[in-house]
Every structure is written in C-alpha cells, then in structure tokens.
Amino acid sequence: MNQPVKIIVIADTHVKSARELPSSVSKAFEGADMIIHLGDFGGAGTYRDLKKTGRLTAVCGNHDGGIVRKSLKEKDIIEVNGKRLALIHGSGCYTPFGIRSKLMKRFKGDRLDAVLFGHMHVADNEEIDGVLFFNPGSTANKFPSPRASYGVMTIDDSIHTEIRYLDDSAHPATRHFLREYIASHFVELLPPRKKDVVRRALISVAFAINFSLMTAVFIA
C-alpha cells in the first residue's frame, strides 16, 4: 500500500496575502503534505506566501496577472501515488449545461483519475465514468455557495476526498464582487467582440438591482 499523501485543495482565495485566509484553512496547511491552489489567488503576495511553504502546486486563474501568470501554467497534470490529477482553474469552460464536458476537452487524450478545478465558487465532489470532478469551492467569497469552503484529498492506493465548509470566513461576497461575478460568467458565453459591451451593461443592471433592494430595506 502506498504511503498516504494529504493534500489541501483551495481555489478562488481572492486575498492579497495568505495572512488574510480564514484561520481554519491556515491551520489545515500545517498537517498537509501538499497544497494545491487552482487559481485566482487575489494577489502576488498570496502566491509568494504559499510558495514559501515549499509544498505549493498551482495553476493560474483568469483574474491572476503579473508574476502569478508568468510563473504558473493555465493547466497541468501531476501524478501522486500513481493517480493522475488534472489541475485547471476552469474559466472559459462554463456553459448553461455545466462545466465538466469542457473541462475534459481541455485534457483530451490524457488518461485522468481526477480533474481539480475552481472558478465556480461552488464545491463539487463527484465521480463520473471513472473520473473524479473535484472543486473545493472558494475560501473567501460565499456567493453563489452558501458557505466558503476548501477541499481535503488523501491519496494512497485510492483517492479519498472531503469538502470542508467554513464558519470563520472573513470575506463574504460583497455587492461589488457579486456584480463582477455575474457579469463575467454570463459574458463567457458571448462572442469576443460583444464581451466588453455586455459586461458593462450587466454590471450596470446588477448595480441598479442592488440599489433598489437597499432602498427597499431602508424604507421598510
């Protein structure tokens, strides 16, 4: 039997440094053999802090720039105890019918035991046709998931997974993030030349809805 390897899987942290991560996530790092980050760090500081642990394996997300994007691939395949794990943020894979089929197309021809992805801010932990699809959710922003979360993966001769939900997340979804999230996910479905125009329109509509809701609360 292979010696178990414990991996903490995180994504969409959206913070400027690892010190801003929820304390339960930081504590989980202490007992991990490996930390996997699936993109959208939130800042180069977070990437640097996690890299200093010497246990970081990561890919970049659509909101990562600068040193993070220069240092990391957009997708990767790693092998742990003979299990092949595909790592990808997942931006550009969203469709109204789900994300999994497009994720698999990004790794067409590759033998995979699991696909680890982020981007959706919603935890996923399901095996389909012999391939595990694992999304740890977001440690920082609760929308659209009801709670922030991260993943734990232990690999020996098999892959054992768990989604852990947080009660100490200090970064609930703000109205600004909500507007940007909705806009960016709808925009991904559009032709390139229409993206900027529609993104601005959706953000404006979302802002108007938020303003109306706030006004209604104050009047009530």
- Tens-digit pLDDT profile for residues 81-135: 999 999 999 998 876 667 899 999 999 999 999 999 999 888 999 999 999 999 9
Question: pTM higher than 0.85 for the full model?
Answer: no
Closest CA to 89 of 120, 119, 51, 55: 119
C-alpha neighbours within 13 Å on the C-beta side of residue 165: 7
Task: Say if residues 26 and 13 touch (Cβ distance below 8 Å).
Answer: no
Buried b (16+ CB within 10 A) or exposed e, 113-137: bbbbbbbbbebbeeeeeebbbbbbb
CB-based contacts of 74, cutoff 8 Å, min separation 6: 59, 60, 88, 89
Question: Which residue has better confidence, 122 or 11?
Answer: 11
Check residues 67 and 171 and name the one with the higher pLDDT. Answer: 67
Position 140 confidence tier, pLDDT thresholds 50, 70, 90: confident
Neighbours of 96 (CB within 10 A): 5
pLDDT at 218 over 90: no
- Give the pLDDT confidence score for residue 195 in this predicted structure: 56
Q: For the purposes of burial, counting CB atoms within 10 Å of the CB of 50, is it exposed (0-12), middle (13-18) or buried (19 or more)?
A: buried
**Looking at this protein, which amino acid is placed at residue 189?**
L
Tens-digit pLDDT profile for residues 58-89: 999 999 999 999 999 999 999 999 999 999 99
Q: Judge whether residue 212 has pLDDT over 80.
A: no
Q: For position 167, what pLDDT does the model report?
A: 75
How is 75-93 classified by DSSP, letter by letter?
A: EEEEEETTEEEEEE--TT-
Q: Where are the alpha helices (DSSP H) in 52-168?
A: 66-71, 100-106
Indicate the pLDDT class of residue 40, thresholds 50, 70 and 90: very high
In which band, very low, low, confident or very high, does the pLDDT at 174 lie, cut at 50, 70 and 90? very low
Give the C-alpha separation, 214 to 94, whole Å: 30
- Give percent of the chain with pLDDT exceeding 90: 64
- pLDDT greater than 80 at residue 172: no
Higher pLDDT, 219 or 35: 35
Question: 8 has which bridge partners?
Answer: 35, 152
**pLDDT value of position 220:** 38
Domains by residue range for the chain, with CATH: 5-165 (3.60.21.10), 175-219 (no CATH)
DSSP code of residue 139: S
Share of the chain above pLDDT 70, in %: 73
Average pLDDT of the chain? 84
User: Which position has the higher pLDDT, 30 or 92?
Assistant: 30
